[in-house]
Amino acid sequence: MDAWLAVIRSFGFKDVIDIIFVAFMLYYLLLLIRGTRAVQLLQGVMIVIVVILISGLLNLSASNWLLGKIVEIGFFAIPVVFQPELRRALSQMGRGGLLTVNLLQQGGEEMVHSVNEIVKATQVLAKTKTGALIVVERKTGLNEYIETGTSLEARVSSELFVNLFIPNTPLHDGAVIVRSTQIAAAGCFLPLTENRSLDKQLGTRHRAALGISEQSDGVAVVVSEETGRVSVAVDGVLHRNLDENALKNLLTTLIVPQRTNGFPFWSRKAESR
């Protein structure tokens, strides 16, 4: 009893701040790993900890030794196996995902123009079932992918988008990357997603769209060559079968600067159908 009283008396303002900070970091960590393979990892770690505690209470020396070796191996294996998730989490934190206040920025009208031109182009491409992949850069720079294509630095226009994706032309294969109101480059190579639970019907364009959305905060618009349907990949989530109005509303929300204040919650949902 006296020990508890001593602890309570020594409890100060710094301790309160310390607890709040740790709680916030744990909460943010859970937001980062939600919907990823790291959730199963966390569950496995909790089970191992419980088993270690039980084996310690029961003095099971052989079990303790075996679990201790598993933990040692895990410290080396986890960063390798879960490297994509760790890279994505650090990238999210690096681009200001922890405490971000989004304010109305200049260039809103220009971005509305870019959205309108992208939507107009995708509708033309969808009618002719011409495959296309357009990536819009946001906070994360895409220079390493722009350098893999042909530099254009041309103003965004639906006509140019349509011409770039005409089959059997030099730049029709690969992605077009948009930076603000400029088409930065065409014929760019993008990383493919490492998600193995995707629909088998999804082709290389959709996998590249998901891949770039996992590696950055870019927004990828895909037109299927087989069905002519339009999809959008953002933050590793694929929004499929979007009509013209749904596509325009989604792109406007994601790309056009908004006057919103608050804490953004990064979440990963199941693949949209």
Higher pLDDT residue, 184 or 105? 184
Tell me the Cα Rg of the chain: 24
**What pLDDT does residue 86 have?**
65
pLDDT above 80 for 224: yes
Predicted model pTM: 0.63
pLDDT at 233 over 60: yes
Percent of the chain residues past pLDDT 90, beyond the cut: 38
Q: How many CA atoms lie within 13 A of 213 on its CB side?
A: 26
Q: Which domains does the chain show, CATH number per domain?
A: 2-94 (no CATH), 108-255 (3.40.1700.10)
Q: In the chain, pLDDT over 70 holds for what percent of residues?
A: 76
CA dist 145 and 147 (Å) reads: 5
For 73-121, how does the pLDDT look when each residue is reduced to its tens digit (9 = 90+)? 877 776 766 666 666 666 656 555 444 433 334 457 788 999 999 999 9
120-139 pLDDT, tens digit each? 999 999 999 999 999 999 88
**How long is the chain?**
273
Residue 152 has pLDDT above 80, yes or no: yes
* Least confident residue range of 25-29, 36-40, 103-107: 103-107
How large is the average pLDDT for residues 200-217?
Answer: 89
Rounded to whole angstroms, the Cα distance separating 111 from 76 reads 45
Please say whether the beta carbons of 186 and 171 come within 8 A: yes
Stronger pLDDT, 65 or 240, i.e. the higher one: 240
